Chain A
Amino acid sequence: MKPRPSTQPVRTSAAPQAPAVSRAGKGAVSPASGARGGAPVPRGASPQVATASVVQPWSTPTGLPSESKLIGGEGRPCVMTPAWVEAVAVAETGEWLPKVGQWTDDRRLSWKKFELPSTTKEGGDAAVDEQMLIRLYDGKRARGMVRVSIQHALPRLRRHSDAQPAESVAQSNESAASPGATPPVEPTHWHRAAEIAHRMVDSHVELIARLSESTGRDEETFHDGPGGGTPIWPLGRVLDMWRSMNDHESARPPLIVQMARTLSQLLTEVCTQPRQILTRQRRLQNAGRIAEVDADCLRWLARQPGKTVAEKAGAKQRAMGIARVEHADTLENRLVRDLVRRSISACDAYLAEHAPVGAVAGAADADSDVSAVSKFSLTLQQLWRTSPIANVGALAGLPRPNHALQHDRRYKAIWKAYVMLVRQQVEQDQAWRWRHRMWAEACLLALLASLAEVSPRASALQSDVLLRAGQLCGRSIDERSGLGRFDVIHKDAGSTIMLITGDQIPDYRAVAPFPEELQRMSPDAVLICREAQWPDKPPRQVMAVWTMLDFDLNSDELAERASRIDVGLRLIRSASKLSGLVIQPAIGGRAAATIDAGTCRGLRVTLPLQPHVSQLAEHIVKEFGLR
């Protein structure tokens, strides 16, 4: 039995809008209005029938895309294209989509799979729909443009608006988070789910920010290249940091709290007494007091009627001269203004999220974070209204720091805070857009922590983890981070487990046998278990892991996804035993739920992931027979 293709095709012929999608969370693609009705396909390449289709990561349709219904909830939309498409970019932002798979089907037609970003729309208690235009590139030229519709996606929280108290949402959710088949939940849970997703994204961004900071660095284990290049940490240290993210006592306060505690006085000082510069301006002045003129002033004077200077100065006896004027409209002050504006926004967002909790639990604590941010917000608003900084011009883009920003005692600290705040905001925007991939990376760390629990003295814990300066499509860990092996002893025998990430599979296949059909299914990670005694034999077992940041709010799709992957895995011929694992987040405070679908298991875990490490480790031990 072959897996049912889950595609939504776009015909290359001029077609009306894509068929309406009735079920929740479906992605659809259609040719963009004004775009060419399908790109010419090079000879010998894939069929000219479809330009692109939306599929799920594990789907590998073997036939021509048909009008069949999309399977899955919101899922994790990928766009499948013929192989002549070299690259796909989002038209609005220009960002390139990551390629997650490439394969040749039974008819020797080649295909590629690119992962789509998710929605960015803000919303309240309901799902959001969003459309995006994507360009298909053949080499250097764009050969077509299609519109992708993503529906019933998680809304981005309006952090400035009044947030719903988390407690009440948690209580109303208790009944809904039962394992197995979950009854449809009420629309209010969209907000709760978005909140959980936001927390996950923020936590991951914070983790990467902590790892990327070079303060207190250890030369032996951390380094960054020239110009703030690649920070590298041993995996063991990364996992320690990841575990500590759930430790509230040792957790670092959010950036805005740190700013509220450290920057308030400095900002007040700078805003009230900003750095000023003298400029020379040509102005009409009292003729007797002109101290300096230039050629332009003389030309002005020559143009005036009259013979003598006194006549030319007119009745008011004013002439053009150069005056020295002091003003504060400088780059560094514009930056201060922008920092104040952004900080007010960040304070509002923080207070919207934390103030209700703080008002109940920590009202008596005048030194609480909420209190500090609240005071900081008031100070900033007052400065915005009354200080000279309010009158300087707006900043366009992120500037290159001038001498004052780099070396002035006051502005140096402000520049550092500004860069951190801007970076955090950009990171959070990007991370929300690519939340599926960020969730995949968070799950990857959880898997590694589980493996470290199974094998606490592993070579892999010494591996170098390379961090990108900024995340790329939701991935902050560079794919060049090669992880070593985890050694496990059981029953007087040994096993080795290796974790290969999805984007490393092509490289891994170049040096070791790996089923091609499994690569087509684009898993996020693969765990490969071998007998330590027989390292040259094929692996004993391969477990592929898919992750999906989908709360299944309309209907529980986890079982269906697991069963579809199970069917796909059963069709693969391999000397190794194959199994699958799908990890999805759960809403509510219940323990994780597991769904068994033959070779594939679905795991729904509550967030944060840190407490579930033991459960994941247990699952790995059981799956690989390491007891």
Chain B
Amino acid sequence: MTVATIDSRPASRLQPACDMPVGVWLDPVEPQVAVVESAAAAREADLVASSDAAIPASVLVPRFSGEPVRVDRVWPPHPRGCGERWPAEARVNDNVEPGRLPVAYAWMMLHQQQTAQSPLWRWRHDDGESTLAPAEAIAHTLADLTRTFAPGGDSASGVGGGAGARSCVTVVPDGLCEPARHALIAQSRQLGVNVRLLWRSVASTMAWCDEWASELDPPSNLRDALSRTPGSLLCLHLGLTHWELSIVDLVWRETHHGLTLTPLRRRPTAPMLPSFALELLHRVARRSLEMSYQQPTAGRVWELMWCTPWLNRVIDLLADPAPSRGGGPADGIEPLHNLSPHVRAREFIRQQWRQGMQQLFGSTRDTTGMVPHHAAMTPTNDRIRDWCAGHRKAIDGRTLVGAVVTGQVARVAVDGEPLGLRYLRDIWPRPMNAMLAGQSHTPVGLLARCGAEHAARLRAAAESGEDQAMFLDTLPRIRVAAMKDGRPQWLDLVDDHDLPVTGHVRWHRFERLAGLGVRAGRPAITLALWHDDLPTVHTVTGRLPQRLISPRRFNLSVSIDPGQGFPRIEATPMDDPEGGTIAIPIDWRTLRDTGRTPEAYVKA
């Protein structure tokens, strides 16, 4: 049994864990990997301390033809995009995206994705321009971590999710849109990792239940359990890149262990809030350089943030009331001689943070070292207040039984109190049974640990063939444009979209959607879809074996793995004169944005 956070040790020093359940939480600063033997063992696992040499994980954008995508997460860093003036590939300038994509930025870009087309990280260099999609960057980091901490599998046969693929459960934000999730799964599969996504709110709830379930009165029988729900849990994530609040209902479900408290995740109703922490830390880095009489150029700030362990150390300093790694701020980083002046006294860092929080910036202010279109996302104090107030209204009248607060910002202590608890009180004035990740009494690597636990349960369920719910999920609402009664309408593809479904079991539409007409001469079936994760209508096609010589009608069958990307849609011809029943799968790689809202599309 091994649970590990990321460090620089070679994988051979960890126990071989080629077929053990793996859980990953790709934190922007300190990713966590948990490898466990069984679900029960996950709670008691020991943790390996993180290394001082770990830097925030970044992905090196390939420059040359055929160059692989590489992950850089240990000091000293690869020269590419490290902020030095030389070599040319190391340079970082204002208003330019360099050759290094930090995972934090990749998450931000993924959160921003609103359409089928992913935003791209563009690096202009002497040989031209290289681009990298954020999902690809995150998938590569995931594959790299899995390879390092859970060695085994066969890279060659595992590509495309083949027999040699490794498996892992990755915790993802609830607000991640479906195209982003789909891209993440597809990219990981190409890299030989069969990844299964677990909602962050569900993982948090599982951790909370481990700790607090005994506090709730269990019902005496199933009828009682069905009539009485214990309440809801507030899951607040205050991350370095985004903040998110989710409400997870708790329900009693009967399993072979008896009645078990099970999370029921609802679809998120409010968008995520960009975090101010990234910009604030850039400012602290800049100020720290100024205090050392160095020019706070974009390259220097970038280097300090993403190519040294500075960020990890500063967050530790901000979080820990007492130093956990020696007495002084620069202890343990002797090899990083040029870093030590910038890890200044705890009070300096805290003062800068406090001042920054009081100002909470307009986007016009200087944000040296930040990639420009991300810098403008930082919310003002008013916006944060509104966000908290909005959520306060949303939970009004609900029975909350507890709260889980996760994220790097939640750990930061200001005036002796962690920010996580302060913002929790802004939303829920009288919190109870609150669990703050990163506190001494909560397990370290909480999200990764829950991911591994979920992976272990999935494996056990697959081996035993049981179909017990580990959590309940709510499906997205997806509608297809069709002519009905002579006028265009939106028909639900997922007719159970408001009902809870079992989280890890594939859902099938009970009745096929019948009678979808396709005109003669068409080489493919094209569907216009309205997905509630996407603001505009998208089209998707399934190629027919040959052009239709006469108009035909098709049935649509739909199935979904909850939370695991797009549904599987197959079109089957109705009344085939030749009696054929070839199902034509809809290819999600053909997803295109029409740029029209559902109302405008139907009118057109």
Contact = CB atoms under 8 A, between A and B. Distances in A.
B66 A224 contact: yes
Interface in B26-83: 64-68, 70, 72, 76-80, 82
B64 A229 contact: yes
Given A482-B86, A508-B86, A462 B76 contact: yes
Contacts of B181: none
A459 B66 contact: no
A507 B82 CA distance: 18
A230 B79 contact: no
A489 B84 CA distance: 19
Interface in A437-476: 457-464, 466
Contact of B66 (A226, A464, A487, A507): A226
Interface in A474-502: 480, 482-485, 487, 489, 493-494, 496, 498, 500
B65 A230 contact: yes
Given A229-B65, A496-B338, A511 B85 contact: yes
Contact of B338 (A462, A466, A533): A533
Contacts of B155: 219
Nearest to B88: A482
Interface string A541-562: 0000000000000000000000
Nearest to B126: A480
B292 A220 contact: no
Given A487-B337, A532-B338, A536-B295, A463 B87 contact: yes
A458 B64 contact: no
A226 B64 CA distance: 10
A481 to B, nearest CB: 8
Interface string B74-116: 0011111010111111110000000000000000000000000
A457 B335 contact: yes
Contacts of B293: 534
Contacts of B341: 533
A466 B67 CA distance: 11
B294 interface: yes
A597 to B, nearest CB: 29
A531 B98 CA distance: 25
A94 interface: no
Task: Classify chain A's interface size.
Answer: 35 or more
A577 interface: no
B350 interface: no
Interface string A500-542: 1000100110011000000000000000000011111000000
Interface in B280-310: 292-295, 297, 300
Most buried by B among A219, A464, A511: A464
Given A229-B64, A229-B66, A459 B76 contact: yes
Nearest to B66: A225
Nearest to A483: B87
B300 A511 contact: no
Given A482-B87, A487-B337, A223 B294 contact: no
A511 B89 CA distance: 12
Contacts of B88: 482, 507, 511
B67 A223 contact: yes
A484 B79 contact: yes
B284 to A, nearest CB: 19
A232 interface: yes
Contacts of A483: 79, 87
B79 A459 contact: yes
B337 A458 contact: no
Contact of A219 (B68, B84, B294, B297): B68
Contacts of B78: 459, 462-463, 484
A309 to B, nearest CB: 58
A225 B76 contact: no
A496 B490 CA distance: 65
Nearest to A536: B295
A223 B66 contact: yes
A489 B79 contact: no
Contacts of A460: 79
A232 B334 CA distance: 32
A500 B66 contact: no
B86 A457 contact: no
B64 A494 contact: no
B64 A225 contact: yes
B592 to A, nearest CB: 29
A494 B66 contact: no
A498 B79 CA distance: 12
Contact of A457 (B76, B126, B297): B76
B76 A230 contact: no
Contacts of A536: 294-295, 297
Given A458-B76, A482-B79, A508-B86, A494 B67 contact: no
Given A462-B79, A493-B337, 13 more contacts: A223-B67, A223-B68, A232-B64, A457-B335, A460-B79, A462-B72, A462-B76, A462-B77, A463-B78, A484-B78, A512-B85, A535-B300, A536-B295
6 contacts: A225-B64, A230-B64, A462-B78, A483-B79, A507-B88, A534-B294
